[in-house]
Every structure is written in structure tokens, then in C-alpha cells.
Amino acid sequence: MTDTLRGLFAAEPVSRHFGDAALIAAMARFEAALAHALADAGIAPRAAAERIAACCAALEPVGPFDPAVLAPAARRAGTLAIPFVRALTGAVARDDPAAARWVHWGATSQDVIDTALALQSDAAGHELLAELTRIGDVLALLADSHRQTMMTGRTLLQPAAPVAFGWKVAVWLAPLPRLRMRLALALEDLRVIQFGGAAGTRAALGGAGDAVAGALAARLELADPGIAWHATRDRVGRLGAELALAAGALAHIGRDLSLLMQGEVGEVFEPSGEGRGGSSAMPHKRNPVGSMLALQAGLRAPGLAATLLAQQAGEHERGLGTWQADWWTLGGLFECAGSAAAAIGETLDGLRVDAAAMRTNLQRTRGFVHAEAVTVALAATLGRPQAQALMEQVCTEALERGIELSEALDALLQTDPTLVGAVPADVRARLFDPAAQQGDAGAMIDRTIAAWRAG
Amino acid sequence: MTDTLRGLFAAEPVSRHFGDAALIAAMARFEAALAHALADAGIAPRAAAERIAACCAALEPVGPFDPAVLAPAARRAGTLAIPFVRALTGAVARDDPAAARWVHWGATSQDVIDTALALQSDAAGHELLAELTRIGDVLALLADSHRQTMMTGRTLLQPAAPVAFGWKVAVWLAPLPRLRMRLALALEDLRVIQFGGAAGTRAALGGAGDAVAGALAARLELADPGIAWHATRDRVGRLGAELALAAGALAHIGRDLSLLMQGEVGEVFEPSGEGRGGSSAMPHKRNPVGSMLALQAGLRAPGLAATLLAQQAGEHERGLGTWQADWWTLGGLFECAGSAAAAIGETLDGLRVDAAAMRTNLQRTRGFVHAEAVTVALAATLGRPQAQALMEQVCTEALERGIELSEALDALLQTDPTLVGAVPADVRARLFDPAAQQGDAGAMIDRTIAAWRAG
Amino acid sequence: MTDTLRGLFAAEPVSRHFGDAALIAAMARFEAALAHALADAGIAPRAAAERIAACCAALEPVGPFDPAVLAPAARRAGTLAIPFVRALTGAVARDDPAAARWVHWGATSQDVIDTALALQSDAAGHELLAELTRIGDVLALLADSHRQTMMTGRTLLQPAAPVAFGWKVAVWLAPLPRLRMRLALALEDLRVIQFGGAAGTRAALGGAGDAVAGALAARLELADPGIAWHATRDRVGRLGAELALAAGALAHIGRDLSLLMQGEVGEVFEPSGEGRGGSSAMPHKRNPVGSMLALQAGLRAPGLAATLLAQQAGEHERGLGTWQADWWTLGGLFECAGSAAAAIGETLDGLRVDAAAMRTNLQRTRGFVHAEAVTVALAATLGRPQAQALMEQVCTEALERGIELSEALDALLQTDPTLVGAVPADVRARLFDPAAQQGDAGAMIDRTIAAWRAG
Amino acid sequence: MTDTLRGLFAAEPVSRHFGDAALIAAMARFEAALAHALADAGIAPRAAAERIAACCAALEPVGPFDPAVLAPAARRAGTLAIPFVRALTGAVARDDPAAARWVHWGATSQDVIDTALALQSDAAGHELLAELTRIGDVLALLADSHRQTMMTGRTLLQPAAPVAFGWKVAVWLAPLPRLRMRLALALEDLRVIQFGGAAGTRAALGGAGDAVAGALAARLELADPGIAWHATRDRVGRLGAELALAAGALAHIGRDLSLLMQGEVGEVFEPSGEGRGGSSAMPHKRNPVGSMLALQAGLRAPGLAATLLAQQAGEHERGLGTWQADWWTLGGLFECAGSAAAAIGETLDGLRVDAAAMRTNLQRTRGFVHAEAVTVALAATLGRPQAQALMEQVCTEALERGIELSEALDALLQTDPTLVGAVPADVRARLFDPAAQQGDAGAMIDRTIAAWRAG
């Protein structure tokens, strides 16, 4: 809403594509390309097109194109396109009144607004995909290099069973190939011109509409969508949902990092550095600021995505109030995803992993994280129901006496004659060794990295 | 997100209170008041407080206070407070290093951010309440002056029964007393300082915390909330919901106006004027741009309100990512409500009501809007079940033959001997007179206006 | 929430796949397939697997499987899986205690819950795709058969320019190929087993996890996802967003139909019939109940989708509160989309199109819908700026004098000597003929139908 | 959506008021009261009213009132009221055809639906307020009894400064007086009849509408709202937001409890017990199931509340699709709040607080939680800027050498001659004593408990 806030919850390189300057430049690109497309189709003189295009290329956000001048006029008109086109027509007319007649020819306000949205989304999406790719590559390396770094797996915020940190990282990585692919598809869907004129049928151009549209699309390197999408906003809604999912996947990493960075856990640390994550009251603090930014983005995105999903049922050929703020809301979603990507990218680059702390925490569970393994070992000879009942007993004993689970188990195995041989010696030897309880983690890491690299 | 868009979907006088300058000014007010409060409590020297306050009063958004300088530092720190306090400390220290030590004494980052939010909300809320009051007053006049302007009442987008336009306006007015009162309560709830220091207990001030807080609150004309609300954000969530309800009530007016302004209906018209509601493709068009702005605000607000409602469960003494963007989101909600209020206020001021068109449309329903009245008249003698069955028959007849409902009714009454006297002559005479079917509308209008004026 | 409501805002064939019975059956399918998969991998005896599978196949929602019995136990346990597995173990054990030990072997609660979600989504999605296909086919026929049914195109709820009803229908159809394809992709993403055991690594199965998972997936005709997705919920979030988009596209049709069905417009009519769209107060009313149901679904879906998008950042290996209600929320989204599809399908099947009313309404615009065409015609000789200025003048004249636009235009052309020849006679002849202003509508319809049929 | 799920994410006593039976009973209450109100106003014979009321009182959800029979008819009609009123009329007519004519006299479908919503909300709200009161009372006791139970205060998920557990509990309690008061106000707003007839003006009753409405309201112990609220849904939206805030405040408690219950923290424990919080894979686990249920409710509620906020701009006298599912959505919000209240109530009742673990964790921070206190002590003599710089140095030293903060501080104080006397001996003695750093916590607890008890 204001530049200060923008700097706090937005980040380059994504955010620059949704600023004032980017919007005006994208609108100018549309008008320049349209003028040339009209010339391509033999409607406008090429010289007029060149004049218009030159004017668009030279356009600066000052004078009549100053956002502060355009904004109130846009509010009165109900669309930015009207004052913008008027300013552009005036600018062209100063040098060449004959050329000015071809400005915006055959187009309606929403054509330039929506095509600008498509151009801006394309540019911002390109940057975001690059950032996601960089993050995925870092995660793949982390996953691969921490295959044997055993730590406490935690479910429902309770210690569950041992996992490798590399496997945990692979879980973070797992949705990224889908995200990248689906985000690319959603961006592809929106990589289209909007060009329909008054009601969407290109009637103003007689039979030449398709030819102009084809040339316009080619010049902007966008597709021609077959039919006007003034009133069907699924492209925008779907892209918004993908951006929210991207923010969510990054927030998920931020969630885990910030939990692992708790004082009592201390297993990973965000990078520190000049001015990073400080506190105005507590000089010692190193706040997980990268995680915070990602979590904040993940919290803001769903409401924005819901706004776009709620704008699908606009009235008739162009709705009232349902699409007018799409660039605002979609821009907000790009900011969320871009801010989260920048924050997590920077965090992962400097992440410090404390394998010793992970090991220590694992040991501090007093063996309870091996409960599943013990149950399975018992169940192999006793069956699951009896094994579970037995383990309830062993766990209760260990909890009440404050002893290691292994100690409680051995006590039971030795005192109950019916349990002789219930756990063979070689099985017992590996029962409380985290590294022996990796299951298919290695193969899962392999598959996840392969899926990422194949994506 | 950008100034251009801000001008389109935001409006004065509300929006100025959530810009960069307003935020920095509010933060400066906090620091100035805190310095004096520390002096009030005998902690800091009065001279130091005066130096700090003077520096805050003279503070301009340039140099170290330039938003473009503060923003990247704020992002690194995870909060705007840190670079702001550093810049303020530096500014004070240039003239008086001894005074500089008292800047931000006893406070934490969130204290200044949240108190700034409270100050900004108070100012913006004050403006919004004034706008709602102005709108309510206009609605009350409209309701009163159109008590006899009969039009088609429409339910589920179908003609239902006659209503007076004044009664319809009274329905728009009805929620405003509640809105104004509840919005005032929500603003009152947030009219509090935040002042807790590191963990919220004011431990840094030893036993003097309450005294400082009391003085701080008095100087800012805010209340002292009893306990820190760093982690309990219901005040912000509740205010957000009220703002969304305000936007919704205004969008409701916009919805009805825009439907009544449809070409085929033409019963009311938004004011026209230079540059208002034009179309870049269709010179004749007068778009309902005020309604559009209100509807757009009504669509954007729920997602923003949901974001605030979703941030209630932050972690421990101050959450991670759950409150940091509250001013961003709450500011967006103020923009929604303020934009809708400005748009509807301006629209109502110039609203043109076409009573003749209302009458004509009422007649064009061929009497079907009187079906309830006829049914009731029949039911008085025949009972509701038989009356309804009969009316089904009459309606079908009228629809199929394309005749007036009155004609079909009379035909039936005359041909069926069992129906003689079913509708007494005096009743029949008024059956198809809209003005005779006002029910309690007059009293409802009276009560609604009275409730508004009493509110 | 209750069956009554469920019947009102849900519809077969989609809704049956998210009822109690469907959930319990899907959980039973998982346990049966798991037992056999354990046998396939040589872990459990085949006879035990057959016993378990037989028990699952015979399972009825009564006795220990009565939802009313399971529910409170599920709430205490925090998951439905625990009382369900206990009941199943008990049921198997009654006949074959040895077999009972293999029930749920190697799995965790979320494995059965999430795989049930995948099975239920697959079944419900299959039905929904069939319904969307049927609707798209009807729309394609409607679009094709109404290529020349000219009506008023409306933008921002104002008359804009003539369009064919068939073209309008093609706009409704346009998003359906994307929707169908993306929905199919999202369903494909979720067509996976969940099978990870305690922490997600399948450690309980030693090295046999992958073999069991492969067999399990094959038996359920689902894919094996490479790594556990307990904590990465993008599949669910993405499917939810697609369902909201489907509901939105159907709500869009409902929006337009209900606006066209307004008393003053009367261009299309929902089918009537026994008990359809009645009013308890007004016997004549035919409410657009199909549109209402679709609009309602379109309004409810975004909030539900946002809930799923907001659940992406669960804690560690399995989050607390973030995935537990996914089937509830996703089921609600299937209900929205399924209810909207049933309502719009039924509505389109019986839709009555009144081409004469469309023509009449078009004429009632007094030629203003041809303003773009006239402007273009003038602009071809005068340039767009001058043409627009002229048209402003003509429109104002026509509006103020209440005359046809053509009359005002001709008056001007005849009185102003500088305008002689501004509109050639052959152009003038077709200027106010809607059918001559189709632009590229025909080709757009062709392309849209082709895209649908190719999809 | 299904009974099983309902049992898991809903809870008595709140949830029973939004089931099928409760809805039908509430509708019957409306019709019975209406019949008597008509008699009160001299419109219907008292005998007819008594017949209708007797039929309503005896009504069971079977036969024509079976939800499974009503539901499909309701879907066709677009409202449950039509088949319900038809069934009721039939039931009355069986005994007394003359009485049957007065069933639903003067009312429209939405009148009975909305009044039922008001009655159900009143009943459910009453229960919820009682539960919140019980929870608040428990929190007040907990806060009072743990004033000296010192623990680590945590901000941004990092150790910050010592706080008392009782103070933390007081923070949880702080929003409850506001919640209770505002929820009571929102419930009060909705404690109104809906009674407007076809278009809302009570035209069907001639001049007797207000008299009937008054009698109806009196008999239902609801207020008469002055004007129909068919189209103004702020009451429902506001109540929905309050329910989401209630769920959020309870989720906040669940968030903190679950974080404190983490294996590495172990400071509080949810009660255990037969079947509570188990794991199907890990027999030892005690999952924080109460916290999970509250967090889940807190996650689901915002999307539902947003749906109600988004339904404010319905069309004309009664909207299409905008209010029809209000009871569904509001019922869902009551379920969220009721489920969270039941879960947190039960959890707090059996909460185990481990003061020793809190102390141990506090000590394990190696004194860093006292950094603010040390900074303040230094700043008193050196000023805040120099003190902060010094503390940065001390903290870095302590972190790098892995020593206690006190040790690093003392080393510095002793080696730097310029710092002699920087911390007076008596101050130094209390610097690392948590109990000496309570600040205003005691007074804050007092004020919070007093505010609760005064509420």
C-alpha cells in the first residue's frame, strides 16, 4: 500500500514487475504493438504506427503520464485506460495529428488493462520460476548431503521416529516439481492478448479483427486466445491459486526452520549478518526473519487467492467490479510468492545445520522415537495387537520411572518367561540405532531429486 | 500496491492515514510521547525528552527517514522499527548524545508498530465514521422523500410485489446505525497503546512500567490496555471485520443502483460529469462507476478480513509472521471501506431517480406483482391453500394468453359460480393499485430513520 | 452439516462419494489392499490377507462401524483411523486371531485417511468431469445454433454493442476445456496412495516398504508418489482451487441467466415444472433456482478453497490441525462444484431462449448499442479523436431529445457541410443492422467449439 | 457433511442446535407462534391457531417431515420452506381443513428460514457463552495460581525474557471479556424475528402487519427489528466474525499449549486418558489432540466468516444465492467455535504444568533471556546506544565461547577499566534472577482477572 511496507513484504526481482512504472510501460507496449498490428493488417498507415510506437517507447511516467495525474482521472473514469489513452493520443497528436487518430483503434479499455496484466505476469512469473528453480537446486543438494544426518521426526508436534535431515529436506522439495510445472502452465494460460473491442467480438474492425489480433499477439509474443476472456477469469484465478501454493510451500519450509531454530531445539540456524533479524529490545536475539517473511506471505496469500476465485461470476460481457482490480490482487500474490522466495532463498543459502544438536535431541527422547521399531519387532513374533498392548505397558513403565525405553523393554523381556525369544538378539542390537531405521528414506530422496531434475 | 492503483481503488480522506508519511509520523509520535512519559515518571531528564520530541516533530521522510532507505533495512531486520529507531537515535545524537540514550527506552519494536497502527486507525476511523454519517443522512432524506414513489419490488431477481423507493432506501439505511455503533466500538477497542517491552511485562522499567504507560497513554490520548496485546489480535480482527461489513453495506447499495441503472430498467442514474464513467470504445456510455468502486471494495474486503481472522493464533509472547503485516492488511481494509464510502457518497449526492420509469416498469409486469395481494384477498374468503391453487391457475392463464393478471382474474371470477363474492367489490377496486399495498412500509421508514437519528 | 441442508446445496452423483458410507468404504478398501500388498511382498500370509479383505468387503456401517459409535471415539483419539482400525482388528480377530495381527501393519493413521481421500476424490472427480463434459456439449450445441440470434451485449451492466446469443454461450464454454484439463491434472496428482508409517519413511517395513507400497498402489489403481506427502498438501490445495474455479465458471452461467431472466429483460427462462422455483408468498413466481444454486456454490467455494490454501505450512513430518480436516473441506468443495453442475446441467437442458425478446430489447436501446460502429465509421474518414468528439455530441443530442441515435446522426450529417461524405451511403445502410456487426464472432464460436471438442 | 466427520470436528452442547432436528423444530416454532400472533391480532381464529400450534408441537422428523423427503423437494423449490409449509399445511388439514388456511399466513419462505436461524443461533450462542465463561474462569484461576512460576518468554519463536506462566495465561484470558461482550452483542443483534412477507413490507396483512409482528416477536422472545432484514445481512456477517474470533482465541491457547508440549520443551501436558491422543503406529504417543481440534477450528473459521462477509451485497429485496446458505455457513462457524471450546475446556481441566521443566529450560538459555535486563542496567549508566553496543559484544562472546551470559558480562566488566561501576553490586546481584524481572506482570494479572470478573 505504501512504499515502505512494499519494501518490507515484497522483494526483487519479482516485485518490480508490478509497480507503477511497469504497468504504464506494459500499457504502452500494448498500444505500440496494436498500432503496428493495424498497419500489418493494412488498416493504419505504417508511418502512423511508427509515430505511435516511438511515442510509446519514449514515454516516461511524468507530465500527463505521471501516476499522480493519471490516478484521480482513472478513478473518475473507472479505468486507468481512459486517461492513459487520452494522454497518449495527446502526446502523439502534438507531433502528428494524423497519426493520433489510430491510437487504441479497435480496442476497449479492458483490452489494454488485461494485456498489460498478461505482460506483467509473464515477466514476474519468469523471475519467480527462476527463483523456485534456484531454491529447488539448493534443496536437492541439501537433501543429498544430509542422508545420514539423523534427527527426531516429529508428528503432531511430538517426537515420532528418527528421520534423516536430508529426507526432511526432500519432503520440502517434493512439491516443487509440481509447483513449477503447474505454475508454468498457469502462466502459459495467461500468456495471451486481450483484444475484443466494445463487446468482445472485434466488430469495430469489420472482418479484419482476426488479422489484427494475430499480428498484435505475434508482436507481443503472446498467444491469441480464440475468444475474448473479458468475462471469464479462470486464467487469473488459477494463476492466483498457484502463487498461493508457491507461497505456501515456501512458508512450509519457513515453519519447519523456525521450529527447528527454537531455543530448546537449536538444530538449524538462519544466517545472521549486519542488521538481520535483530530486536530493538534484546541485543542478543537472532530472529528467524527469513522464516517470518515466508510465513507472513503464506498467511496473506490465501485471502488474496480467494478474492480472485470469488470474481469468476462477473455480469455479462464485462462485469462490474469483478475484474477491475485483478492486477492489484494478482500483483499482491506475486509479491507474496516473490517475497517468500527471496526470503527462503537467502535463508537456505546461509543455513547452518547442527548435526550434533540433532543427535543430542534424538537421544534426549529416551528411546521413545524407536517405539514403532520395537513394536514392529515384537509384532513379528507376537502379532500387532499383542505387541501394541505390550508396548503400552513398556512405555508407561519407562515414562513413570523416567528410564530409557530400552531399559524398560529389556526388563520386561527378561522377567516375562513367555517373551523369551520375542526379540532376536540381532534385531535387538539394531533396535535403538536411528541409522538402522531409515526405511526407504534413501530411495525416497533419490526419487525426489530425480523428479526435480527431470521436471 | 502502486500509487496509480492506490488512486483508483482508494480515496481521501481515509486513505491518507495509511500512507508512508502517516506511518512514519505515527511512529514519531509514539517515540516523542514515550520520551516525555519517561520524563513524567522521573526516569529520563525532561531536557532529553524535549530534544527527542523536537526531533520527532521536525522529522521528514527524507535522508535516513526516506521510506526507500528504511524499507530494505526493515526487511533485513524483519521490522520497520529497528531502522527507524536507529535513524531517530542518530538524529537526536547529532545534537545531543546524552538525550539519544533515552530514545525508545523500555520499548520493543512491536510497541511502536502497534501503537502507530492504533493512532492511524483512530484517525482513519474518525474520517470513515464521518463519511458513513453523511451517507446515512442522505439516505434518510431520500427515504423520507420517496415514500410514495412506487416501484417493482424484486426478490431472487424476479418481480415480486410493489414497494416504495423510499422503503428500499430505508433498507439500505437500516444496517448503518449498527455499523456505525459497532465500528465505533471496534475503533474504541483499538484506541490503546501497546507498551510491553521485550516479553510484554515492562520488566525493563522495573516497577515504573505502569507509570510510564499511563503517561504515554495520556499523551497519545489512547487508553492503557491493562496487559500487553502483542499476541492477542482480536482487536485488529474485529476492526477488520467491521470494515468489511461497512464495505459490504456500501457494495449492497452499489449492487442495487447498478441493477436499477441497467438499460432495460433505467430507474435510477448515477451522476454524470466530465470524465466520469466513460468508455474508451463507446462514447455514449455512462458506466455506473460509483457502484463499480463500491462493489469492487466489497469483493476485496472479505479476503483481507479473513487474513486478519486467520492471524489470531500466533506463537507465544509475539508470533512469527502472524502480526507483522497487520497494518498492511488493516490499511487495505480501510482503503476498501474508504473507497466505497467516497464512491457511494458521491453517487448518492448526484443520484437521479426516475419515478416515471419506476411506474412504467411496474405496469409492465402486467399485474403479476400484485399476485400476493390477490392471493390474500382470495384467501380471506377461501383459505390460503385453495386461494393458492386458484392463483396458480389464474397466473398460468395470464402467462399463456399474455394478458393482464386482472383480466385473467376477472374472467375466472365471472365464469365460476362458486367464486361469486370471493373478492368483494371494494377490495377488488384497490387490488391492482400499488399505493394501496404499502403494508407497514411507512412505519418501517419512520422507525429506520428514527433509529439512524438516535444512533 | 445436516442431511436436510446437504440435500439442498449438494447433489448427486458427486455428493454420494463424500458421505459417511463412502468414507468408511474407502478406508476399508485401503486396509484390504494393504493386507494383500503385505502378502504380495511376502510379509503377511496370504490367508491372513484374504481374511482381512473378506472382512473389509463385508463391512457395514453398523455395530462397531456405526458412524455414531466411531465419531466420539475419533474425536477423543484425534483421528477416525484409530477407532476404525481397532474395530476392524476386532472384527477380524473374532474369526481369526492370527490374521488380526496383520491389520494396518506398517501404516499410520494418516495413511488410511489420506488414501481414502484420494479414492473418494477420484470417484467424485470422475463424476464431476462427466457432468462438465455433458454441460460443455450442451453449450457447444447452443452456441452453434444461436449464431444469428442477435441480442444486446452488456458491459459494466450497461448496453454496449450487439452480440449473438451463440457467441455469449461460447464465452461461457471457453473456460471449460481448460477447466476439464486442469481439473483432470489435479485429480491425477491426487490419485496416489499415502503410505509412510510413523514418520513417513516406511521404516516399520525394513527394506520392504517400497515393495509393499508398489503392490498397494497397484491394487488400488493409484500411483506410488515417490515420497510421503503427509506434510505437503499442495495436491489437496490445487484440487480445491480447481473445484472452486469449476463452481465459479458454473456460477458465471447462473449469473448471466438470472440477469437475462429479470422481468424487465425476459430473454431466457429456466425450465419450470412441478415444485421448481416456487415462492411461498407469490404463486406466480418462477424463481431462477438453478442459477441460485450455482451462484450459491460459487460464493461458498472460495472460502473453502482458501482454507485448503492456508493449510500448506503444517509442522514437521505431520502437522497439527492443518490436514486433519482436509476431507471435510475438500468434500465441501466437491459438493459446491457438484451442486452447481447438477443445477446448471438441468437448467441448460430445459432452457427457453426468447429470440424475439432479445430483438425487442436490442431495438429499445434506440440505436446506442451501435455507437461503436458509428464511431468507427466516422473515424475511418475523420480519425478517432474527432469521431469520438462528434459522437459525444450526437449521443448527447439523442439522449436529450429522446430520439434514435440514427436520427440524431443523420441530422448532424445533413446540417454540417464539413461532414458531407463522412459516412458513405453503403456504410450508412448497414450501420444500424446488428447482424452486420458480428465482427469475428463466427470464427470465435468455431474456435471455441473446436477447442472444446479437441480437449 | 457426514455424521462421522461431524462428530470429529463438532461437539456438544453447541452442535446439537444446528442439526436437522433443531432446524425443523425451529421452523415449527415459527409457524406455531405466527398462527397465535395472527389470532392475537384478530386475523385468524384462536382455534385454528391452537390446531396449528398443536400440530407443530407434535411434529416429528418422519413421514412428510423426514429430512430425506424434504431435502430433494427443497432443492427443487430453492428453499426448504416450501416443502415444509406444504407438509405442515397437509398435516393440519387432515384434522381441520379450516385451520389449514392460516398456516404461514402473511409470511414468505425467508421469514421462516431466517427466524429459525435466529432461534438456533440464540440457543447455540447461549451454550457457547457458557463454555467461554467456564474457560475464562479456569484461566483466571490458573493465572492467579502461577504468578511465580517463572518460564521462558518467547518472541518470534526465540527465547526473549522470563515471564511467569500465570502472566502468559492472563494474556490468553485478556481477549475473553471483549469476546464475550461482543459475541453477546452480535447474538443480541440477531435475536430478531424476520417477518416481511413477499417483498418485505408486510403488505399481505394490510395494516395489521406490525401488530402481528409484535405478537410474533413476543411469543418467540425475539425482538421486532423495525424493518425487514431479508437483504441486509450484517447481523449474520458480524456474528460469523465473532465466532471466528472465538475460535481464534481458543486456537491461540491450543497453539501455545502444543508448542509447550513439544518433546524438547515439555513444560505443559494435555490430559491423557483412555483413547485420548493415541497413534495407530506409535503406542507411546500422547498427541495434543485438544490443541489440534482448536487449531483446526481456528483454521477453518476464517474462510467461513469470509463467505458471510462476501454475502452482503445481495440483489434488491432478496438476493439470489447470497443468503440462502447462511444457516449452513453460520452453523459451520458455531461448530468451529463450539468444537474449539469443548476441546480447550477439557484440555485446561486436566492440564498438567511442569514448573520444574520451565525452570530448567529457563536455565538452559544460559542467561540470554536476561539480556534486556542487563542492557537496561548498563544503559542506566552508559545510555542505551552504548549499552546495546556493549551487549552485542558480550552476547557474541558468550555465544562463541559457549559460556553463560553472566560469565561473559563479568569478564568484560572486570577487564575494561572504563566500565568500573557500570553495574552496581546490588543490581548485579538480581540481574540473573527471573523472579526479579517480573516488571508489572503482577498488576497486569490483577487487572486482567478483574476485567474478566467485571465483564
D367-420 residue pLDDT tens:
989 988 888 888 888 877 788 888 888 888 888 888 999 999 999 888 888 888
pLDDT per position as a tens digit, D74-98: 999 999 999 999 999 999 999 999 9
- The predicted pLDDT at position B5 comes to 67
| Mean pLDDT of the residues in chain B | 93
pLDDT at residue B59 greater than cutoff 80: yes
Please give the residue that has the higher pLDDT: either B378 or B138.
B138
Verify whether the Cβ–Cβ distance D163 to B89 is below 8 Å. no
Q: In this predicted structure, which of A339-348, B210-219, B400-409, C423-432 has the lowest mean pLDDT? A: C423-432
- The predicted pLDDT at position C284 comes to 67
Q: Is B355 helix (H, G, I), strand (E, B) or coil?
A: helix
Please give the residue that has the higher pLDDT: either B367 or A340.
A340
> Does residue C83 have a cis peptide bond before it, meaning omega lies within 30 degrees of 0?
no
Verify whether the Cβ–Cβ distance C322 to D299 is below 8 Å. yes
pLDDT at residue C41 greater than cutoff 80: yes
When pLDDT is cut at 50, 70 and 90, the band that residue B4 belongs to is low
Verify whether the Cβ–Cβ distance B154 to C284 is below 8 Å. no
A87-106 mean pLDDT: 94
D190-201 mean pLDDT: 96
pLDDT per position as a tens digit, D149-171: 999 999 999 999 999 999 999 99
pLDDT per position as a tens digit, C115-157: 999 999 999 999 999 999 999 999 999 999 999 999 999 999 9
The beta-carbon neighbor of A282 closest among D160, D283, D292 is: D160
Report the residue of chain A nearest D361, measured CA to CA.
A264
- The predicted pLDDT at position D206 comes to 85
| Mean pLDDT of the residues in chain D | 93
Verify whether the Cβ–Cβ distance D372 to B203 is below 8 Å. yes
Mutation site for B-interface testing, chosen from C151, C274, C284 by largest number of B Cβ within 10 Å: C284
B24-36 mean pLDDT: 97
Nearest alpha-carbon partner for B193 in B167, B156, B219: B219
Contacts of B161 in chain C (CB under 8 A): 282
DSSP states of A184-242: HHHHHHH-B----TTTSS-GGGGGGHHHHHHHHHHHHT-B--SS--TT--HHHHHHHHH
pLDDT at residue A378 greater than cutoff 90: no
CA–CA separation, C235 and C186 (whole Å)? 7
Q: Which of B75, B145, B279, B401 is catalytic?
A: B279
Please give the residue that has the higher pLDDT: either C296 or C273.
C296
Verify whether the Cβ–Cβ distance D283 to A160 is below 8 Å. no
pTM, full prediction: 0.97
Contacts of B258 in chain C (CB under 8 A): 157
Active site residues of A: 279, 318
A169-181 mean pLDDT: 98
Verify whether the Cβ–Cβ distance B375 to C282 is below 8 Å. yes
Mutation site for B-interface testing, chosen from D89, D92, D193, D227 by largest number of B Cβ within 10 Å: D227
Give a three-class secondary structure readout of chain C. Answer: CCHHHHHHHCCCCCHHHHCHHHHHHHHHHHHHHHHHHHHHCCCCCHHHHHHHHHHHHHCCCCHHHCHHHHHHHHHHHCCCHHHHHHHHHHHHHHHCHHHHCCCCCCCCHHHHHHHHHHHHHHHHHHHHHHHHHHHHHHHHHHHHHCCCCEEEEEECCEEEEEEEHHHHHHHHHCHHHHHHHHHHHHHHHCCECCCCCCCCCCHHHHHHHHHHHHHHHHHHCCECCCCCCCCCCHHHHHHHHHHHHHHHHHHHHHHHHHHHCCCCCCCEECCCCCCCCCCCCCCCCCCCHHHHHHHHHHHHHHHHHHHHHCCCCCCCCECCCCCCCHHHHHHHHHHHHHHHHHHHHHHHHCCEECHHHHHHHHHHCCCHHHHHHHHHHHHHHHCHHHHHHHHHHHHHHHHHHCCCHHHHHHHHHHHCHHHCCCCCHHHHHHCCCHHHHCCCHHHHHHHHHHHHHHC
Please give the residue that has the higher pLDDT: either D253 or A275.
D253
Q: In this predicted structure, which of A57-71, A278-292, C302-316, D331-345 has the lowest mean pLDDT? A: A278-292
pLDDT per position as a tens digit, B184-235: 999 999 999 999 999 999 999 988 999 999 999 999 999 999 999 999 999 9
Question: Quick one: what percent of chain C has pLDDT higher than 70?
Answer: 97
- The predicted pLDDT at position A4 comes to 66
Report the residue of chain C nearest D75, measured CA to CA.
C8
Q: Are B32 and B75 in contact (CB under 8 A)?
A: no
pLDDT at residue C381 greater than cutoff 90: no
Please give the residue that has the higher pLDDT: either C4 or C229.
C229
A347-352 mean pLDDT: 96
When pLDDT is cut at 50, 70 and 90, the band that residue A1 belongs to is very low
- The predicted pLDDT at position A273 comes to 77
- The predicted pLDDT at position A327 comes to 87
**Taking each helix axis from N to C terminus, what angle separates D46-58 and D20-40, rounded to the nearest 10 degrees?**
170
- The predicted pLDDT at position B283 comes to 64
pLDDT at residue C163 greater than cutoff 80: yes
Question: Quick one: what percent of chain D has pLDDT higher than 90?
Answer: 76
pLDDT at residue B281 greater than cutoff 70: no
When pLDDT is cut at 50, 70 and 90, the band that residue B377 belongs to is confident
pLDDT per position as a tens digit, D14-63: 999 998 899 999 999 999 999 999 999 999 999 999 999 999 999 998 99
pLDDT at residue D1 greater than cutoff 50: no
D137: Cα separation from own chain's centroid: 16
pLDDT at residue A128 greater than cutoff 80: yes
* Alpha carbon distances (Å) from B11 to B14, B72, B236, B289, D138: 6, 28, 22, 14, 47
- The predicted pLDDT at position D273 comes to 77
Neighbours of chain C (3+ CB pairs under 8 A): A, B, D
Least Cα separation, residue D5 to chain B (angstroms): 22
Highest-pLDDT range among B338-347, D1-10, D270-279: B338-347
Based on the residue annotation, tell me whether D109 is a catalytic residue of this protein.
Answer: no
- The predicted pLDDT at position B3 comes to 57
**Which residues in B have their CB inside 8 Å of a CB on C?**
152, 154-161, 258-259, 261-265, 279, 281-288, 292, 303, 306, 310, 361, 364-365, 368, 371-372, 375, 388, 391-392, 395, 399, 405
When pLDDT is cut at 50, 70 and 90, the band that residue C1 belongs to is very low
Verify whether the Cβ–Cβ distance D285 to A161 is below 8 Å. no
Verify whether the Cβ–Cβ distance A254 to B321 is below 8 Å. yes
Based on the residue annotation, tell me whether D318 is a catalytic residue of this protein.
Answer: yes
